Amino acid sequence: MQIADGKVALFHYTLTNDQGDILDTSSGGDPLGYVHGTGTIIPGLEAAMTGKSTGDSFQVSIEPKDAYGQHNQALVQRVPRQLFPLDEEIKQGMQFQAKADAGGLQIVTILEVGEAEVTIDGNHPLAGVRLNFDVEITDVRDATEEETAHGHTHGPSGAH
Ligand code: ZN
């Protein structure tokens, strides 16, 4: 069976940046599962999956525009130090979740801590990064009615 809209695909992946650092991998765990055509995975990877079958392996490099977007300088902001709890140590490189203006959660990274101000970056940590995926398709099957209704997979690698 080939991956097409409405099919469930399970796959193992290793994600590296252009420097060869492993950013994420499913190796040693369950494969990742998703319903194709639902926009659950990043657009560039979903496009590359189309037409692949069980047992296929491939590599794909995905430009930021088809992944987590370009780095947006407007999301780098200086905010008063007092917005953060005083009893909590904050330092460069820390990440936390904040409410996004558009709703939902966004990851915010601390770039610099000054005495009065803290510089934060609201870009996704992988914004502006080209993503290199090493993918192995482990299963392709029809989605159940429930999975189609929910837009995600059920079972060992699923959402519930
Ligand atoms: Zn569900």
Q: How far apart are CA 32 and CA 42, in angstroms?
A: 13
- Look at residue 27 in the predicted model and tell me its pLDDT: 94
How many whole angstroms from 42 Cα to the centroid of ligand 1? 20
Q: How do the pLDDT tens digits run along the chain, 160 residues long?
A: 999 999 999 999 999 999 999 999 999 999 999 999 999 999 999 999 999 999 999 999 999 999 999 999 999 999 999 888 777 788 999 998 887 777 777 889 999 999 899 999 999 989 999 999 999 999 999 999 999 999 999 987 777 8
CA atoms within 13 A on the CB side of 59: 5
Residue 2 resides in a domain: no
How many whole angstroms from 46 Cα to the centroid of ligand 1? 20
- Look at residue 149 in the predicted model and tell me its pLDDT: 93
How many whole angstroms from 103 Cα to the centroid of ligand 1? 22
Q: How far apart are CA 64 and CA 62, in angstroms?
A: 6
Residue of 156, 157, 140, 126 whose CA lies nearest to 24:
126
How many whole angstroms from 5 Cα to the centroid of ligand 1? 17
Mark whether 85 and 62 lie in a shared domain. Answer: no
Question: Global pTM?
Answer: 0.81
How many whole angstroms from 154 Cα to the centroid of ligand 1? 6
Residue of 111, 123, 127 whose CA lies nearest to 78:
111
Residue 96 resides in a domain: yes
CATH number of 84's domain? 2.40.10.330
Strand locations in 3-154 (E): 7-16, 22-25, 32-35, 57-62, 76-80, 95-99, 105-113, 117-121, 131-142
> What is the extent of the structural domain holding 35?
7-67+127-150
Residue 95 resides in a domain: yes
Mark whether 25 and 59 lie in a shared domain. Answer: yes
What is the count of structural domains for the chain?
2
Residue 158 resides in a domain: no
- Look at residue 131 in the predicted model and tell me its pLDDT: 97
Residue of 1, 122, 126 whose CA lies nearest to 63:
126
